[in-house]
Amino acid sequence: MTWLTRRIGAPIILWYVCLWKMTRKIKEISGPQDAAGGIIKRQADCAILRGQTQIRTAKDLYEYANSFLTQPRSHCKRRIFRYAETIHRDNRLSFKPVPSIRSLHQVRASRDSAKGLINISELSCFCVNCCHHMYDQCSNSIKTGGYTEWEMKREYRADAQENEENEQVSLQELVSVGQLVALYTDDDEEEYYMLKVEKSMETLRIDTTDSWGSLLPAGTPVFRGLYYNKTNSPFQYRLVNRKAVVPAASVVYICSEVTANNVIRITEETHLNVLECINEIKC
């Protein structure tokens, strides 16, 4: 210390010591008080901007804080979400863009706008006749060059799109040869029948009776196949070698996860799915 005093002088050393002590004290007192002061200032600024109060002096600030900022407040914000199964959005691009569309300055509807025709021009005109929609009597037609008729082309056929949306594939059309299907039945002793499909869906030309004695009239869409009988094991079935003809409308479930072997076993989940489909038909 003696060496520093001799070199730079005692006053400068004392000034640095005082500055260091002041900086240390500022760091010690800084903390939650600064945050509280910032909150008060921010609330006061918001109140002034909203026109709720006028603060011109320190006393006004104290009175405002004492009146409105002494009671604790809490905010709870939440968002409520609602689930919608389907949302109708008609944002498809119906027409193809016009070539060199950036160079066009004026587009107007044609008299045959119902046919998808529009009139386009690379120059705009604001003469009296054009402002009154009398485009055929344009005063500057020699300069603007008139209008060119353009046919707007659809990106898809409207009727085809509507047909695609309205078409619904029936369950019977999804059945293929060799699959295992569950059939609706009125038998009180059975919940449903199981059938192995051997032929694709067909429409009977004449009245037909199968090996089980079932009579089906002509004109009925049917499937031909073999029935399964239940065994003593739960959810197990054995194939019966007797031809069956069943109405196509009686198919309620396609067991696509089960291979139609001579002996089959379905899962409990498949069983419950079949019962659910039958309940929907009864309801």
Structural domain range at position 217: 172-282
CA distance 70 to 177: 81
Same domain, 181 and 251: yes
Which is nearest to 226 in space by CA: 174, 172, 190, 177?
177
**Residue 235 included in any domain:** yes
Average pLDDT over residues 192-204: 92
> Which residues 6+ apart lie within 8 Å of 175 measured at CB?
181, 197, 200, 201, 223, 248, 251, 254
**Residue 60 has which token pair?**
């006004």
Same domain, 187 and 276: yes
Same domain, 177 and 258: yes
CA distance 149 to 254: 56
CATH code of the domain containing 184: 2.30.30
The pLDDT, as a whole number, for residue 167 is 52
CA distance 257 to 127: 74
Task: Reply yes or no on whether the pLDDT at 163 is more than 80.
Answer: no
pTM to 2 decimal places:
0.43
Average pLDDT over residues 90-107: 73
Which is nearest to 222 in space by CA: 199, 202, 208?
202
Amino acid identity for residue 177 in this structure: V
In contact, 146 and 130? CB cutoff 8 Å? no
The pLDDT, as a whole number, for residue 152 is 78
- Please tell me the chain's helix, strand, coil percentages from 3-state DSSP, rounded to the nearest 5: 35, 20, 45
Q: At what angle do helices 58-68 and 32-49 cross, to 10 degrees?
A: 90
**Residue 56 included in any domain:** no
In contact, 172 and 248? CB cutoff 8 Å? yes
Task: Reply yes or no on whether the pLDDT at 260 is more than 50.
Answer: yes
Share of the chain above pLDDT 90, in %: 19
Helix (H/G/I), strand (E/B), else coil: 185: coil
Q: How confident is the model at residue 24 (pLDDT cuts 50, 70, 90)?
A: low
> Which residues 6+ apart lie within 8 Å of 196 measured at CB?
178, 179, 180, 225, 226, 228, 239, 260
**Residue 180 included in any domain:** yes
Task: Reply yes or no on whether the pLDDT at 270 is more than 80.
Answer: yes
The pLDDT, as a whole number, for residue 4 is 47
Same domain, 181 and 253: yes
CA dihedral 132, 133, 138, 143 (to 10 degrees): 110
Same domain, 178 and 119: no
The pLDDT, as a whole number, for residue 72 is 72
The pLDDT, as a whole number, for residue 75 is 54
CA distance 106 to 120: 6
**Residue 66 included in any domain:** no
CA distance 234 to 214: 28
Same domain, 192 and 230: yes
pLDDT, one tens digit per residue, over 216-255 is 999 999 999 999 999 988 899 999 999 999 999 999 999 9
The pLDDT, as a whole number, for residue 13 is 55
The pLDDT, as a whole number, for residue 252 is 92
Hey, which of 16-20, 104-108, 234-238 has the most confident mean pLDDT? Answer: 234-238
- Chain mean position to CA 250: 35
Residue of 273 and 97 predicted with greater confidence: 273
**Residue 144 has which token pair?**
């603007």
**Tally of domains in the chain:** 2
Task: Reply yes or no on whether the pLDDT at 20 is more than 90.
Answer: no
**Residue 267 included in any domain:** yes
Q: How confident is the model at residue 5 (pLDDT cuts 50, 70, 90)?
A: very low
The pLDDT, as a whole number, for residue 86 is 77
Helix (H/G/I), strand (E/B), else coil: 140: coil
**Residue 125 included in any domain:** yes
Residue of 61 and 102 predicted with greater confidence: 61
**Residue 136 included in any domain:** yes
Task: Reply yes or no on whether the pLDDT at 166 is more than 60.
Answer: no
**Residue 89 included in any domain:** no
pLDDT, one tens digit per residue, over 38-97 is 778 888 887 888 788 888 888 888 888 888 888 776 555 566 677 777 777 666 656 777
pLDDT, one tens digit per residue, over 109-129 is 777 666 778 888 888 888 888
